[in-house]
Structure 1
């Protein structure tokens, strides 16, 4: 399954990139790149970096770790960013969970469980933004059914996670029999017990509200980053354009992806900016700049975290 997801990530990346490049006029593409304002672009990068910081705070809230471990959660998050930049199929998510387990006293099960719920919370942010777009934006969304399908998957995952936190103890009779299967059975049983025990912190309404508030702040900064980059290209578009761009990027990035989201940003921004009258060549140029900014931040913070703690 792991190898299949990697292959699928590479294939989708190649298909998305080829599809995007087949639609552009290279003269228009290069003119759009040359028109980019450095100051607006730098402002977009700052907003993206602050969003990355808040994501680590959100994960820290979900783990229930003490406040002094916030720096370790940030380091693990940065290692995950580096993994996303250089490995396919979101392997960075696995890397950050392993790193957090190494840096803290967190058990493997809770590291995995909190990481999964953190991703589900990110998906719920996508669902909220998509709902806002559907209710307030009068222009039709392209690939609307695909967006709704991704949102539905995240909603189902959120419901499943809530059921596990509230009623997961009912599965003890099943996991209690797994150790007879050998080391993997014992490991799964241990992960189950650690996840179930650790994730009970999510029964706290205060913690859930705090995590949702941070997620709202993350989405706001991401929207701002997209909108600031729109201004870097000299386009006078409403803030809703930033929301739509983020919705498409978040939906496309939830699929098995190629390293560094190659092709994902290009195809997502192409669909997102068409309704605002931006030609395909300029849209792909916008997506390429946004991808480059993201990769520079991912690789920079990831290398810092890796060198800071050794191999």
Structure 2
């Protein structure tokens, strides 16, 4: 195992400790009797709607993915849906967002595409998702009454990052060679000490993967489809979180569902424990706190929303692997190998 891999592994585990410590800090004054009492308010009539919304989200996500893959439009839609589901199942069972590695690996079992090309599409997907989520946050935050200072300051910073990110994405799309040279030069300038060579090489790989993924978008039509589908994907996820509010009897404005979607997405973006444990709850508590929901109800909400997703994704992913003749341990092993040494995946 290389020194760079060891440092990466140490930083990932340190991240988990920080996340769980922050969650413990947030929950230190929670009245657990009130949490148990709030579960009695769950309206089971909404559960089928939530299950449908989870399934719909995966269909939209898979449809978008075909436009981010080289030759994706000719691929079987079932393969894209199955790989997406199996990948997210891996993230629920393994730490460090392993599904983002397992998903392209699983797709290579069924379609004629290299792992590197499929993985590059995930890099582009994450960048586009970040731009859309930050854009939605910038708009939604303006409508929150008595918003805390941290939200306004954070929104402005993230909005600026989104604008810079969008400009860089367009530059990379239309002037890939120039962007590659400029990007490498900036990385060398800012990360010149020898002991940062591991980070420098990791950023080179990330940038190359991003550029390779952008090559799959070969026309303005494809780019337009990807952006519109991305917006639909995240607004549909906001509907899921809004229905979760109704499930617990919380009659809040649609703005609440949007903010839960945004803050959960930002919270789980960082690698963490299996199933986004900790980061998911932190995102829910932060979002619902903006609307005066106490921690006890916020925690109950987070548990219901999290359990519904896990109960849909894990069994579906396991069934897909079984039906397709793949074994869970093979996808787990591939994800771990790719995480420890991305260059050899």
Aligned-CA RMSD value: 2.8
Between the aligned partners of 1:151 and 1:294, the Cα distance in structure 2 is: 29
Give 1:7's aligned residue: 13
- SS of alignment partner, residue 30 of structure 2: coil
Q: Residues 77 and 147 from structure 1, CA distance in 2 versus in 1: closer, same or farther, beyond 3 angstroms? A: farther
Between the aligned partners of 1:92 and 1:299, the Cα distance in structure 2 is: 12
Contact 1:85–1:260 under 8 Å retained in 2: yes
2:175 is equivalent to residue 167 of structure 1: yes
Between the aligned partners of 2:125 and 2:308, the Cα distance in structure 1 is: 23
Contact 2:50–2:243 under 8 Å retained in 1: yes
Cα distance, 1:31 vs. partner?
0.8
2:262 is equivalent to residue 247 of structure 1: yes
Between the aligned partners of 2:86 and 2:55, the Cα distance in structure 1 is: 15
Q: Report matched runs for 1:30-109 at 5 Å.
A: 30-63=36-69, 64-109=71-116
Between the aligned partners of 2:162 and 2:316, the Cα distance in structure 1 is: 28
Give 1:180's aligned residue: none
**Gapped regions of structure 1 (runs ≥ 5):** 176-184
Contact 2:135–2:162 under 8 Å retained in 1: no
Instruction: Output one character per residue of 1:177-221: Cα deviation in whole Å (capped at 9) or x when no partner.
Output: xxxxxxxx9xx99x95x9756633424111111112211221121
Q: Report matched runs for 1:82-161 at 5 Å.
A: 82-141=89-148, 143-144=150-151, 145-146=153-154, 156-161=164-169
Cα distance, 1:87 vs. partner?
1.3
Contact 1:15–1:263 under 8 Å retained in 2: no
The number of residue pairs the alignment matches comes to: 297
Q: Residues 141 and 308 from structure 1, CA distance in 2 versus in 1: closer, same or farther, beyond 3 angstroms? A: farther
Match of 1:20 among 14, 17, 26: 26
**Relative contact order, CA 8 A, sep 6+: which one is greater?**
1
**Gapped regions of structure 2 (runs ≥ 5):** 1-6, 185-200, 328-345
2:305 is equivalent to residue 290 of structure 1: yes
What TM-score comes out, normalization by structure 2 length? 0.77
Cα distance, 1:150 vs. partner?
5.5
Contact 2:238–2:257 under 8 Å retained in 1: yes
